Amino acid sequence: MKKIVMIGSVVLVIFVGVVGFNINNNMGNTTEPKIINEFDVEYAENGDGTYECRGYNFQYKKKVTGLENGQSTTFVILTNNKEVDFDTVSYSLKSSQTNTDAPEFIILGWY
């Protein structure tokens, strides 16, 4: 009888230890999106390193720099295309095309 109680106690200790370890590990894996307000634009940085803005998800936050009217200008954008360049962003501000598809990028601001 002592053996059964002793074995049961050992099993119980192991069980409680494993369950407690799993609960603590899982608590660290849940991260809430971090809400950011930059250039008066609100967007979220998700726990997996992606971004969400205006209902669209983006993989990258980039700064692209070039010359605009002879002055150095930097655009800060969210995009899924890590190859998007300054000229593409600058042209989008000057063109009058309307598009109802998901945007290639969202301009957060410039300086």
Looking at the fold, whether 19 and 6 belong to one and the same domain comes out as yes
Distance in angstroms (rounded) separating the CA atoms of residues 11 and 75: 60
| Torsion 46-52-58-63 (CA) sign | negative
pTM summary value: 0.69
Whether residue 97 is predicted with pLDDT greater than 80 in this model: the reply is no
Looking at the fold, whether 17 and 52 belong to one and the same domain comes out as no
Looking at the fold, whether 87 and 57 belong to one and the same domain comes out as yes
Q: What is the pLDDT of residues 5-64, one digit of tens each?
A: 445 454 444 554 544 544 445 555 558 899 999 999 999 999 999 999 999 999 999 999
Three-state DSSP state, 101? coil
Distance in angstroms (rounded) separating the CA atoms of residues 56 and 41: 14
What element of type H or E holds 62?
Answer: strand 60-68
Pairing, β 41-45 against β 51-53: antiparallel
Q: Give the range of the structural domain holding residue 11, as residue numbers without chain letter.
A: 1-30
Per the structure, the count of domains in the chain is: 2
Tokens representing residue 100 in the block: 């109802």
Looking at the fold, whether 18 and 51 belong to one and the same domain comes out as no
pLDDT band of residue 95 (cuts 50, 70, 90) is: confident
